[in-house]
Structure 1
C-alpha cells in the first residue's frame, strides 16, 4: 500500500473492523460516563494537526484515569480484536491518532499527575497526560527543568511515543536520550515495566528504547521516568538577521563544528517572519533569522555568545538583539512558537502539509537551499523553521484542501525534499514520526528487510494487530 497523501479520502488497505455492540456495552458498564459515544467527542479524537480530513472517527472514547483503566480498556478490546488508539492532546502531525481501521480511542489526558520528583537523582516520574509546560511548572521550585520542547504543549506520553525532540535537542538530546523507564500496557492488557531510574543498565534487551518512538503500536504508556536538568545559572537569548538563508545556515554549521555548546539555534526564513509579524504584531526584520539561546555560567554564556556573534559577522549577520530576562526571552521565542499558527491564519481555510527531515550537519545547506528553490518555483505558500543545530528543519506547505492541484504540488515537494535528505545520508523524519504520511519513505530509508523485522516485532508483541494499526507500516 502506498502511504496516503494528505488530500486523499483515506481508503485503508484493511477495511475498518467492526466494533461489536457487546464491546461498547462492556466499556460503558466498566467506565460509565468515562466512556463516550457522542459524535462530537468521537470526532475530536479522530483528528490531529495533520492534513488528513476524511477519516471516520473511533467508535467510542474511553477517558482513562489510571493504569488499571487503560489495562481494562485494552483487555476488553483485545477480547474482540478491536483496535485501540492512544490519545494525548492531539498535537501530532502525521496522522498518528486516526482510526484508519476503526476501533476505540483511549484518552490519557486525565492521567496528568507528576508522581515523584527525585531531585537528588535528577529524575522525575509522570503519568502520560502530563504536558511539558505543566511538568516544568511543577518542578521549577526544585531548580530543575525538563528541556525537550517540540513547540506545542504536547503530552509526555505523546512525546515519548513519537520520540519527539525540538528546540533544545542540540544540547539536551531527544526523548530517546531522556526517557529512562516506562510502565506500559501491552496488547493483552498486561502491565509491564521497562528500564529503571539508574543512569545506565546492561540488563537484557533495551525495551524502553524499543517503545520510545513506536507511535502507540507496541503498547500504551502509563508511567514515564525522565531525566531532568539543573536550571542554568545564566540564560541569554539572541536573534540575528542575515542577508540570505545560506549565510544563516553556514553560521550554524560553523558554530556546531567549533564545538560551541549552544542550547538552541533555530532558523526562521523571512517569509515565515512576515507571517509571524502579522499574527503576533511583532516588528522583526523580515529576512532570514537565527534565534539562539545560551545556557551556563554568566562568564560561559558571555563567551559563547561573543563567539557566535563573531562567526555570524563573517557571514553578514547583523542586528543582534540580546535578551537576558525571562520576559525578553519569551518575546523573542514568540516568533518561533507562533510560526505554525501564524502560517495557518495567513491563508484562511487552508491546511498545512507539514514535513520534516534531518541530515548530517555538513549537508544541511545543500538540502535546505535546494528545497527552498523548489518550493519558491511552485508559488505555493509555505513556512520554514528549523532546529538547524542538529540538521533538522520543517516545511509546512499551505494548501486549500479542496484544491487537488495544490494538494498534488505540496505532496510532490514533500516527496522531493525527503528523497533529497535520504540521498544526503539523512532521515525521512527528524521528529514528527512516520504515522500515515511517511510509510513509503520509511521503506526507502531502511529497506524492506528492516521493515520486515519491525513487522516481526509488532506481530510478536501484538499478534492481533490491535494497537494503533495501520501506522508506520502495513501488515
Structure 2
C-alpha cells in the first residue's frame, strides 16, 4: 500500500513583473495580505502548507483567462478556489503561486425550466441555486453537505446525500466552459441530454481537481420538486443491522432518495450540538420523494425491511420544518463531531464499495479503530456504498496522526480489495495520491499524466495534486 505523503517542492518567489501586472489589472482585487493568503491556503486536511503568494478575485470569464495567461507566461502555479470546503488538500499551494478566487462569479445565468437545465457561473453555491430555483418548482439535487460552489463540486466530482437516486456531478453536468492552461476559453458539451460528438471533454474536466483548467460556466440538470417528501429515522441495535437494512432496500429496488447512516458517536455529537435528543445508537436517516401514494409505498417497504433487522422507533418527519431540522443536524455532523474532543483535528477519509460489501468494510474499520483506541465517528451515504470515517486527533500527540494514517490506509486497502474505490467523493488531492496508484495501476496513472502533460505542458494548473511527485 502506497501511504499518502506530501512531496516537498521548491517554492520560488513570485516575480515582481507578474505581481505588477496582476495589481495593474485587478487593483485591490489582487491581494498579498497575509490574512487573505492564509484564508485561501488552508482546508480541513491535516497538511500544514505555506499559503499562496497572492490571491486574485476574478469577476468574469475574461478575467480568469487574463490571470491564467499571465501565470502561463511567467510559468507560475495557479490554484483555483471556490468555497474552500475541500477535505483532501486540493487548494493548498504546495508550490506557491497565485490563488484564483472565483467566488464572486456567482450569477445564475439561465434557467430553462422546460428543458430542466440551468446555466451558472462557478461561484454559485448549491443553496443559492436552490433558492433561485424554488419559484420554478425545481431543485438541484447534488448535496455534499457543505454549501460548496458548483465549480468546485464539478472539479472534485462531488456527490452527497441524494446521490443514491439522482447521481453525482458526473451524471448531472451537461456542458462546461473552462479556461485552459494557455489562457484559451474552451466550450464542452451542450444542453442536449446526450451526444456522440467526439471525446467527452466535459467528463474529463469533472473530477480533474483544477489540474486541467479553471471552470468558468456550467450547465447542469435540475429536477422537478417532488409532489411529496417524507423523512424518517430508524434506530438499530448495531451498525451491521443498519447497513444490512440499507443494502436490502437498494437490492429490492426501492427508489429511496436519501439513506444516511450515523453511528452512536455521531448521534451523540449532533445531540449535543443541535439539542435533538435522539437515541444514541446507530441510526438510518432516510428520505422519500415522489407522489403521495408512491412515498407511502416506499416508506412501508422500508419500514418492513428495517423491522427484520431489529429497527425500532421508526419516526416520521413530514413537515418542512421537521425535515430541515434533521438534515441540518446531518450536515452539521462533521463540525459537531469535532466538538467531541475540543481542540482536536480530524483525519477524515472515505471509501466506496459495491453495496453487497459495505457491511464488511464498515465492520472491519470499526474493529480496527476501536482496537487502536482513537476517538472517531462515522457517517455514510450507505445507499450507494459510501461511508466516511473521522479520526479525532490531539495535535500535541503526533503518534495519533501516525495511527490514524495507518488505519486510513488499512481501510482504503480493504475497499480496493473489495473491488471498490479509495474515495467515493472526497477526491485525491494531496492525501490519496498513493492510493490512486494502488487502485488504478501504473498504466492508468501514466495515461492520466499524459493527459495532464498534453493540456498543461508547463505544469502550472494546481500542481502537486492527484499525482505524487
Sort the TM-score into its range (normalised by shorter chain).
over 0.9
- Counterpart in the other structure of 1:460: 454
Please say if 1:147 is aligned against 2:169: no
CA contact (8 A) 1:436 1:472 kept: yes
Secondary structure of the corresponding residue to residue 237 of structure 1: strand
Aligned counterparts of 1:92 and 1:175: Cα–Cα separation in 2: 15
Please say if 1:349 is aligned against 2:373: no
Aligned counterparts of 1:30 and 1:474: Cα–Cα separation in 2: 34
Aligned counterparts of 1:71 and 1:414: Cα–Cα separation in 2: 39
Please say if 1:45 is aligned against 2:31: no
TM-fit CA distance, 1:42: 0.4
- Counterpart in the other structure of 2:270: 276
CA contact (8 A) 2:4 2:435 kept: no
Secondary structure of the corresponding residue to residue 134 of structure 2: helix
Farther-moved stretch of structure 1 (403-412 vs 294-303): 403-412
- Counterpart in the other structure of 1:124: 118
CA contact (8 A) 1:3 1:436 kept: no
Aligned counterparts of 2:327 and 2:112: Cα–Cα separation in 1: 30
Aligned counterparts of 1:390 and 1:18: Cα–Cα separation in 2: 45
Please say if 1:162 is aligned against 2:156: yes
- CA 1:3–1:471 in 2, change beyond 3 Å: closer, same or farther? farther
Secondary structure of the corresponding residue to residue 339 of structure 2: helix
- 382, 388, 391: which is aligned to 2:382? 388
CA contact (8 A) 2:3 2:409 kept: no
- 435, 438, 460: which is aligned to 2:429? 435
TM-fit CA distance, 1:349: 1.1
Please say if 1:398 is aligned against 2:392: yes
Displaced runs of 4 or more, over 2 A: 2-5
- Counterpart in the other structure of 1:358: 352
TM-score by length of 2: 0.99
Aligned counterparts of 1:229 and 1:11: Cα–Cα separation in 2: 43
CA contact (8 A) 1:381 1:397 kept: yes
TM-fit CA distance, 1:334: 2.7
- 274, 291, 295: which is aligned to 2:285? 291
- 50, 55, 66: which is aligned to 1:56? 50
CA contact (8 A) 2:353 2:419 kept: yes
Q: Deviations over 1:257-304 (max 9, x none)?
A: 000000000000011101111111110000000000000000000000
CA contact (8 A) 1:148 1:172 kept: yes
CA contact (8 A) 2:379 2:387 kept: yes
CA contact (8 A) 2:434 2:468 kept: no
CA contact (8 A) 1:352 1:396 kept: yes
- Counterpart in the other structure of 1:326: 320
Aligned counterparts of 1:402 and 1:221: Cα–Cα separation in 2: 39
- 445, 449, 464: which is aligned to 1:451? 445
Secondary structure of the corresponding residue to residue 346 of structure 1: coil
Please say if 1:66 is aligned against 2:60: yes
Question: 1:90-101 alignment to 2 at 5 Å?
Answer: 90-101=84-95
- 2, 7, 15: which is aligned to 1:20? 15
- 21, 24, 28: which is aligned to 1:33? 28
- Counterpart in the other structure of 1:107: 101
- 177, 182, 205: which is aligned to 1:183? 177
TM-fit CA distance, 1:11: 5.0
TM-fit CA distance, 1:474: 3.4
Aligned counterparts of 2:293 and 2:188: Cα–Cα separation in 1: 41
- 313, 326, 336: which is aligned to 2:307? 313
CA contact (8 A) 1:18 1:82 kept: no
Aligned counterparts of 1:359 and 1:335: Cα–Cα separation in 2: 26
CA contact (8 A) 1:49 1:90 kept: no
TM-score by length of 1: 0.97
CA contact (8 A) 1:194 1:208 kept: yes
- Counterpart in the other structure of 1:216: 210
- CA 1:463–1:123 in 2, change beyond 3 Å: closer, same or farther? same
- 408, 411, 415: which is aligned to 1:417? 411
Please say if 1:264 is aligned against 2:258: yes
Please say if 1:374 is aligned against 2:374: no
TM-fit CA distance, 1:80: 0.6
TM-fit CA distance, 1:4: 4.6
- CA 1:3–1:126 in 2, change beyond 3 Å: closer, same or farther? farther
Query: CA RMSD, aligned part only?
Result: 0.9
Farther-moved stretch of structure 1 (116-125 vs 17-26): 17-26
Structure 1 residues not aligned, in runs of 5+: none
Aligned counterparts of 1:115 and 1:11: Cα–Cα separation in 2: 40
TM-fit CA distance, 1:159: 0.3
Aligned counterparts of 2:462 and 2:4: Cα–Cα separation in 1: 16
Aligned counterparts of 2:297 and 2:387: Cα–Cα separation in 1: 27
Secondary structure of the corresponding residue to residue 141 of structure 1: helix
- 187, 197, 200: which is aligned to 1:203? 197
Structure 2 residues not aligned, in runs of 5+: none
TM-fit CA distance, 1:18: 3.2
Aligned counterparts of 1:277 and 1:334: Cα–Cα separation in 2: 12
Aligned counterparts of 1:11 and 1:451: Cα–Cα separation in 2: 17
